Amino acid sequence: MLFNDQRGGDVDTIKTVRDPQAGYKNAKEKERYENRGNYESADYHSHKNYIETNKKYKGDKEKGNLQDAYSGNQIAKNDSFDLDHVVAAKKIHDDKARTLAEMDGPDLANIEENLVATHPSINRSKKADDAEAFISRLQAERESRIEKINELRHQLDKPDLLPDEKDYLRKTLTTLEQKENVDHEKLIKAENEAQKTIDRKMAEKYYTSKKFFEHAGIAALNQGIRLGIRQALGVVFVEFWIELRKAFPKIFEAITKKQDFSYFLDGIKNAIKKAWESIKIKFKEIITSFKDGVLAGILSSITSTLINTITVTAKSAGMIIRSTWSSIVEALKILIFNPEKLPLGDKLLAVFKVISTGISIVLGATIQAQVSSATSSIPIVGDILPSFLGSLITGILSVTMLYYLDHSDLVKSIVNFANSLKSSMEKKADYYREVAGAYEAYAARIGGIDLEHLRTETTRLRQCADILYQDHLDMNLRLDRVLEKLGVAAPCKTVPELDAFMQIADAKLSF
């Protein structure tokens, strides 16, 4: 509820924008890519770095220090070479990650690691292909290429060839031999190193930008508020369900006996009123659930974004990460703050219950994702079956694990043993409780008051103070509860009754 999980999370990353199934999360980034402009070869091949690197390689060739990056062969002084973009310039121009990082295409394509010297025949055969596609093409043509090489060598041995014919055959042979000389490992290594450097530069630019932090922050806050609202609504729905479940047997019994549908409406109305009163009492719990949900939602969104900078998460990962963080936040709250003041054993049991529920949700979501991928092509069933099975498995696992934790003799013995262990703070608390009890007994003896009666009265007054301290309740409701706790019959039950009473000139308050 309230979430629309998608592949790749909610924040654009270098990995997700390149993934066809994940796509863009931000419409402005999609628009930026669509308006990138057409690829202009001249912009990339007239770049300052391209020209300077070309001059440098020419100097290296004259000194006899230039190697072909794709074959490893020495480039002779009288041979020509081409300066090749290892990762094709057009690929960089059309890279969605480049526009996301807002980097200039010619600047990125003409970094040192992406410019290498190679034989013209290799460069012009490679074109804009990546290493995998080029190698695949070379392998597919190898048999016919070797056959052609042998044929050309045989023709060149003929003594009656004209100079022009010989020159043509030699050039054709050189082209084929250069393709045959391509070292596949060197080609792949060169591309990997160039792509790695390009990706690193884009990552450094994008992941340190104000834009990325804004997008990640907005997504985290959005997820936090949504999860907080869902957690708070969960408490509200539970209260309504409890009251309705209590009321339904009585409602149906009344309808059966009286044969009057109005009893149904009255019963529902009364159940809703009681639920609303319970919700007002649990206002602090609702606020706490909201805050816990906000924290878990923010952490889950940040986690999802970080993971998507490394790899692209599946659609189901959103629910899994949220459930994991919800369980972690709840477990840490019990362990560190212990709001219910549970002894050690019961505290650990509560933590295990939270964790087991989280594990059940994660396993259910994982199975749902697997079933969804297997049935996605089946109409209707592909939408309903995964959700049904995921919910069913989550329910069965959580109920089974909770039942075991509540009824296992082994678990009970471990809990009892842990409860028997006391920390130094708990021992001090026991000591001060004994001292307080001794003071109570002394005060009762001096005042001539029964000790149990004194303890009952002080407990009741403490409860009244707690009620008055509940600032989420309105003052009238707090005072009503204090009067009820003290056993005082109020002369007026409602504000209108009090107003009417105050209009009587000779009215007297009596208790």
Over the chain, what is the mean pLDDT?
87
Q: Whole-angstrom Cα distance, residue 12 to residue 328?
A: 26
Instruction: Note the pLDDT tens digit of each residue in 35-58.
Output: 999 999 999 999 999 999 999 999
The domain ranges of the chain are 36-206
From 100, 107, 90, select the one nearest 31 (Cα to Cα).
Answer: 100
* Among the ranges given (124-133, 192-201, 246-255, 463-472), the one the predictor scored with the smallest mean pLDDT: 463-472
Q: 194 CB contacts (<8 Å, ≥6 apart)? A: 86, 87, 111, 113, 114
For residue 462, the model assigns a pLDDT of 79
Q: 395 CB contacts (<8 Å, ≥6 apart)? A: 360, 364
CB 119 within 8 A of CB 82: yes
* Among the ranges given (3-17, 28-42, 313-327, 436-450), the one the predictor scored with the smallest mean pLDDT: 436-450
For residue 268, the model assigns a pLDDT of 83
Q: Is the pTM of this model over 0.85?
A: no
* Among the ranges given (55-59, 68-72, 419-423, 505-509), the one the predictor scored with the smallest mean pLDDT: 505-509
Neighbours of 58 (CB within 10 A): 14
Instruction: Note the pLDDT tens digit of each residue in 354-374.
Output: 999 889 988 988 888 888 888
CB 419 within 8 A of CB 350: no
Residue ranges of the alpha helices (H) in 207-282? 210-258, 262-281
Instruction: Note the pLDDT tens digit of each residue in 302-327.
Output: 999 999 999 999 888 888 898 899 99
Instruction: Note the pLDDT tens digit of each residue in 261-307.
Output: 676 777 788 888 888 888 888 888 889 899 999 999 999 999 999 99
| Token reading at 5 | 């999980």
Of 356 and 436, the one with more pLDDT: 356
For residue 438, the model assigns a pLDDT of 86
For residue 83, the model assigns a pLDDT of 96
For residue 315, the model assigns a pLDDT of 86
* Among the ranges given (108-122, 174-188, 204-218, 335-349), the one the predictor scored with the smallest mean pLDDT: 335-349
Q: Average of pLDDT values for 120-134?
A: 93
For residue 356, the model assigns a pLDDT of 92
Q: How confident is the model at residue 423 (pLDDT cuts 50, 70, 90)?
A: low
Instruction: Note the pLDDT tens digit of each residue in 457-491.
Output: 888 877 777 766 665 556 666 677 777 767 777 66
- Residue 116 pairs in a beta bridge with 84
Give the rounded percent of residues in the chain with a pLDDT score beyond 70.
93
For residue 119, the model assigns a pLDDT of 93
Q: Whole-angstrom Cα distance, residue 219 to residue 136?
A: 42
Q: Which residues of 291-327 are buried (b: 16+ CB within 10 A; e: fewer)?
A: bbbbbbbbbbbbbbbebbbeebbbbbbbbbbbbbbbb
For residue 38, the model assigns a pLDDT of 95
Q: How confident is the model at residue 165 (pLDDT cuts 50, 70, 90)?
A: confident
Of 255 and 142, the one with more pLDDT: 142
Q: Whole-angstrom Cα distance, residue 198 to residue 175?
A: 30
